[in-house]
Amino acid sequence: MVAGVVQNFFHGFGYELSRTPHAQDFLSSRQVDLVLDVGANLGQYARGLRAQGYKGRIHSFEPIKAVHEKLAASAAGDAMWDVSNCAVGAAPGRADINVSDYTVYSSIRPTTALGTASRAMSGESNLAAPPKVGGVMKIRT
Residue 120, in any domain of the structure: yes
Q: Tell me how many domains the chain contains.
A: 1
pLDDT tens readout for residues 73-111? 999 999 999 999 998 888 888 888 888 777 887 888 877
Q: What is the sign, positive or negative, of the torsion defined by CA atoms of 94, 95, 96, 97? A: negative
How far is Cα 83 from Cα 38, in angstroms, rounded to an integer? Answer: 10
Where helices occur in 12-132 by DSSP H, the ranges are 23-29, 44-51, 65-75, 113-122
Q: Is residue 125 part of a domain?
A: yes
Residue 4 domain-assigned (yes or no): no
- 5 within some domain: no
Provide the whole-model pTM.
0.70
Residue 121 in any domain: the answer is: yes
Which residues form the domain of 61? 22-133
pLDDT tens-digit readout, 17-44: 666 678 888 888 889 999 999 999 999 9
Instruction: Give a yes or no: residue 113 inside a domain.
Output: yes
Domain-located, residue 106 = yes
Q: Is residue 15 part of a domain?
A: no
Q: Collapse the DSSP code of 10 into the 3-class scheme (helix H, G, I; strand E, B; otherwise coil) and give the result.
A: helix
